Structure 1
Amino acid sequence: MGNTLHKRATLGVITGALALTAFVAPAAQADEKVGNVKVSNFVINGGKPVVVGATGKKTVKLSFSVTDNSGAWRAAAQLYHGKSLETADSAAASGSTWIKCKKVSSTKSTCSANYTFKAGGNAVNKVAGTWKTWVIAQAKDTNFIQKDNAKSFKVQRATQLAGADVAPEPVAKGETVTVTSKLTRANWDAGTNAAYGNQSVTLQFKAAGASAYKNVKTVKTSATGDLSTTVKASVDGTYRYVFAGSAGTAAATAVGDTLDVK
């Protein structure tokens, strides 16, 4: 029985790893568990979304715990995009089938590996958004656990907000000023930053001496990503734009511009 389970787990890891490397469907994958082995405490990129620019690459760390009364033996994990591992349309591999596991106690180990996302490679526009973590772990008594999605996380296209510009300045109290900026987003397919039009962006203001910004209004970007709105000057302070982002697009905050009211 033990040898059978050992072979099943090993086969699952190897076929899964090969599938993600070559983008070939593996043998049927589904959550499985034999015995009391557990995986937990999954952390990807320190708990933050993985943000990739228009060019270059981003390497992130995955770590998790494996526990079993007999002790952890080995583990493997892959990051992928799609409904399931079988239908994944992109993935990030660790570079080897089995990843590094460090013994914490007689029953627990911490496993970790690095994964790289490359713009124009495994990071293309259509896969921005929610990714998943496939994992398998074996205990020393050959018990094993396999999860098709042990942890979901975001892979996002980087965004840029040009520094806010307030004009004219200085200005008399009660006069109207215009606050401008521009929103662009990484286009992984083209390898460039492109205008991000028709997006809601928040204009914020922090009065001189205040500790926090307050929302002023919501402004939509033009087709070319430009932002422009008017406000009445009342007191000295700083204006900035803030973009909240989405599942597949990173948030961004513009450098503020300070207004001097005479």
Structure 2
Amino acid sequence: MIKRTVMVGLATTALASTSLLLAGPAQAAKNVESCSITDILPDRVVIGTSAERVQFGVRTTCDDQDVKFAVRGAGIGTSAHAFWFAACNYDMLQGPTNFDCTHGGSGVINPIGGTYRGYDFVPGNDLTGPNPIYAGAFVDADHNAKDDDGGGHFELSETITLLRQTRFGDSLDASPEPVRKGKKINLAADLETADWNTGTWEGVDATVQIQFRAVGEKKYRTVKTVTATGGKVDTSVVAKRSGDWRAHHPATEATAASTSGSDYVKVKPAR
């Protein structure tokens, strides 16, 4: 009986192996011809200045079945069996030889320096945003890791969004400490973004939210939005209450969100 939905693999960036998640007892391979992939996971990955091993998975309509899958990025024109990343969760793949089936469904995505799609070279930073991704799967009813049960492959084409990592490190500084109520608090920080062309960190022009959490409060609130110029944040606010200050960069279509560490400033009564 075909049901909705099992997830094969774990949709997070990780180094650990993946195992098939079954919703119930294994069944014979009946109605395999009706199986389909409904989603490829994860749908986004954050990468810094070095390659990232990503744990892939697929969702299928083949509930209670042993599903084997393979995931790949765009092909490289120099070989019919070469892709710029590839992974699978079974050991005996018939076809492309560069699927690495020894890491439980995980594969290495490396945008640093760029890669080829077909015969076209794509520079590293141009790989930010949506990228094509493809998945193929089959029901392995006899658990021999081979597509020999008569059901054939089922496939899905989607996109995976790659985001450049950002970071503040320990750069945030709020001063002076302490300060009189009504006086200015100066806030400075350095925001860096991964440059996939060079594999280094660079300061960029970006939106930064200055956030504050007063003593006794649980959540931060945004009190000011500024633009980091070349990665430099330099602004001031009026001191009202003692509490923690931090900087936050919201995610964009190309960069991941990041938040600085906090800096506590005690506010003394005005004279």
Give the deviation of 1:232 after TM superposition: 0.8
SS at match of 1:35: helix
Counterpart among 46, 50, 58 of residue 51 in structure 1: 46
Partners of 1:41 and 1:64 within 8 A in 2: yes
What is the TM-score normalised by the length of structure 1? 0.68
In structure 1, the residue matched to 2:34 is 36
Q: Quote the Cα distance in structure 1 between the aligned partners of 2:64 and 2:151.
A: 9
- Structure 1, unmatched stretches of 5+, are 1-33, 82-89, 102-111
Say yes or no: does 1:229 pair with 2:235.
yes
Partners of 2:40 and 2:135 within 8 A in 1: no
Q: Quote the Cα distance in structure 1 between the aligned partners of 2:35 and 2:193.
A: 43
In structure 2, the residue matched to 1:242 is 248
SS at match of 2:154: strand
Partners of 1:130 and 1:247 within 8 A in 2: no
SS at match of 1:148: strand
Aligned pair count?
A: 200
Q: Quote the Cα distance in structure 2 between the aligned partners of 1:153 and 1:231.
A: 40
Give the deviation of 1:189 after TM superposition: 1.2
Say yes or no: does 1:144 pair with 2:153.
yes
Partners of 1:70 and 1:141 within 8 A in 2: no
Taking only aligned residues, the RMSD between alpha carbons, in angstroms, comes to: 2.7
Partners of 2:74 and 2:132 within 8 A in 1: yes
User: Quick one: percent identity of the two aligned structures?
Assistant: 25
Give the deviation of 1:65 after TM superposition: 4.2
Gap change, CA 1:135 and 1:168, over 3 Å in 2:
same
The structure with the greater share of residues assigned to helix is 1
Give the deviation of 1:75 after TM superposition: 3.5
Say yes or no: does 1:196 pair with 2:204.
yes
In structure 2, the residue matched to 1:117 is 109
Say yes or no: does 1:100 pair with 2:100.
no
In structure 2, the residue matched to 1:133 is 133
Runs of 4+ in 1 over 4 A off after TM superposition: 65-74
Give the deviation of 1:92 after TM superposition: 1.2
In structure 2, the residue matched to 1:105 is none
The structure with the greater share of residues assigned to strand is 1
What is the TM-score normalised by the length of structure 2? 0.65
Give the deviation of 1:138 after TM superposition: 3.3
Give the deviation of 1:248 after TM superposition: 2.1
Partners of 2:37 and 2:60 within 8 A in 1: yes
